[in-house]
Amino acid sequence: MITQYSGIAPKGDLILLHKLGEKLNNRSFLHINSTRAGGGVAEILQRMIPILKDLGIDARWEVIEGDEKFFDVTKKIHNSLQGNFENITDDMWRHHYEVNRANAGRLNLDADAVLIHDPQPSPLIEFRKSGKWIWRCHIDVSHPLKEVWDYLLRYCGKYDAAVFSVAKFARAMGTDEFIIPPSIDPISEKNRELANEEIIETLNKFQIPNDRPVILQVSRFDRFKDPIGVIKAYRMVKKYNDCVLVLAGSPASDDPEGDIVLKEVQDYASDDADIRILLLPPFSDKDINALQRAATVVLQKSLKEGFGLTVSEAMWKGKPVIGGATGGIPLQIIHGVTGFLVHSEEGAAFRIRQFLNNPEMAHRMGEQGREYVRTNFLITRQVRDYLSVWYAMENKGRSVLEL
């Protein structure tokens, strides 16, 4: 499997991966998050576990289970860590802990390294048995609601290390901290090359016209992804350039707000036949791949974002991208080189028109984007980084010459 990345991923990453695989051979590496499908974390884990196994590591992925109340609370925690005001009562925190306690009883937490993804399963640290425990924070906690962050630190501060996606997301936590951006898998169903017929098949299935430029945003129906702002930008463009807007998303099982936001978006789009709102079932990877390849311009107009994997996915397909200047998006889009960063609906509309009216520039930026993703955001680099952190934690205090 790892050999399939030769000629695609940078050679240096592959050499290091083999070395680390030898050092950590047969050791166990457990990942825990809160959803099997939907969103970037699940997306990466699905691909990473087989790669780790192929490298000789005993990798496992477990998902915590919770009731509706639990996911309402964790959504509130999530929103407040991104700066929204939420009142999280003692009872809610207790429930958060109790659900994790039940999961600790159900799951086998024994492993040499345990990577806990995001705040939902963070209390599991209280039930640690052995090994190195690392908290992996995917969201922007640079301006959180203080009392929520302070409460969470009771758990997160106990880990051996914390990993953030982007330097500016990180906060001093009193433990070792590492910056590891997420990544995409170039050979997955989501990102592999597709034949033209496969692309057309998807367009037909969703009745998307291909006689006009297609503007696309792929994301969960979440207000932070600004789907309404995308429609507003499209309406400004539409006055001058005929085009079709596709908003594609699927519900995530850990996001209870999705249905409400979807309804808002459908109402706002009203009866415009050129706005296609696609509610995709989970694991629609090939269709998403085809939509991204069929698109003329890809948007990720987020107002708040973790990393924004969809940006790298589109760049890898050579597409010109426009992203909200937030979270990890500026890490991927170098303004004017690999795409454009925007701060408003007007800005998004302006850049969409610029791409539609300058196909050559759009093509050039798309190509630059692809190469940028190749060097920085492929999964091989991320696996390399995780294994390096684990290895470094285990060999703390030893000279590099001994390793």
Give the footprint of ligand UDP on this chain (CB under 6 A).
39-40, 43, 190, 218-220, 248-250, 280, 284, 288, 306-310, 313
Q: How far is the CB of 225 from ligand UDP (least distance, A)?
A: 7
Residue with tokens 């051979």: 25
Burial group, residue 183, by CB count within 10 angstroms (0-12, 13-18, 19+): buried
- Amino acid at position 350, single letter: F
Nearer to ligand UDP, 310 or 380 (CB): 310
Q: In 3D, which of 109, 161, 128, 138 has the Cα closest to residue 388?
A: 161
**Which residue is closest to ligand UDP by CB?**
40
How much of the chain is helix, strand and coil, in % rounded to 5?
50, 15, 35
In the complex, least distance from residue 107 CB atom to ligand UDP, rounded to whole angstroms: 23
> How far apart, in Å, are the Cα atoms of 186 and each of 46, 127, 167, 194, 346?
13, 36, 25, 12, 33
Q: Which is nearer to ligand UDP, 39 or 144 (CB)?
A: 39
Q: What angle do CA 345, 349, 355 make, to 5 degrees?
A: 145
Instruction: Report residue 65: phi and psi, to 5°.
Output: -110, 145
Min CB(341)–ligand UDP separation in Å: 16
Find tokens 């898998």 and name the residue. Answer: 185
Minimum distance, C-beta of residue 284 to ligand UDP, in the bound complex (Å): 6
Q: Is 160 or 185 the residue whose CB approaches ligand UDP more closely?
A: 185
Residue 37 CA to residue 52 CA, distance in Å, equals: 19
- Minimum distance, C-beta of residue 312 to ligand UDP, in the bound complex (Å): 9
Q: Measured from the CB atom, is 133 or 316 closer to ligand UDP?
A: 316
Query: Which residues on neighbouring strands pair with residue 298, listed in sequence order?
Result: 216, 321
Separation between Cα atoms, residue 361 and residue 367, nearest integer Å = 10
CB of 204 to ligand UDP, least distance (A): 19
276 sits in which H/E element? strand 275-279
Containing 178, the helix (H) or strand (E) segment is strand 176-179
Residues in the chain: 403
Closest distance of CB 328 from ligand UDP, Å: 8
Give the integer Cα–Cα distance in Å for 153 and 139.
15
Nearer to ligand UDP, 16 or 265 (CB): 265
Q: Cβ 35 to ligand UDP, closest distance in Å?
A: 10
Nearer to ligand UDP among residue 294 and residue 309 (C-beta): 309
Q: Which is nearer to ligand UDP, 66 or 251 (CB)?
A: 251
User: CB 280 → ligand UDP: shortest distance, Å?
Assistant: 5
Specify the residue, 218 or 230, whose C-beta has the smaller distance to ligand UDP: 218
Phi and psi of 44, rounded to 5°?
-70, -40
Q: Which is nearer to ligand UDP, 219 or 296 (CB)?
A: 219
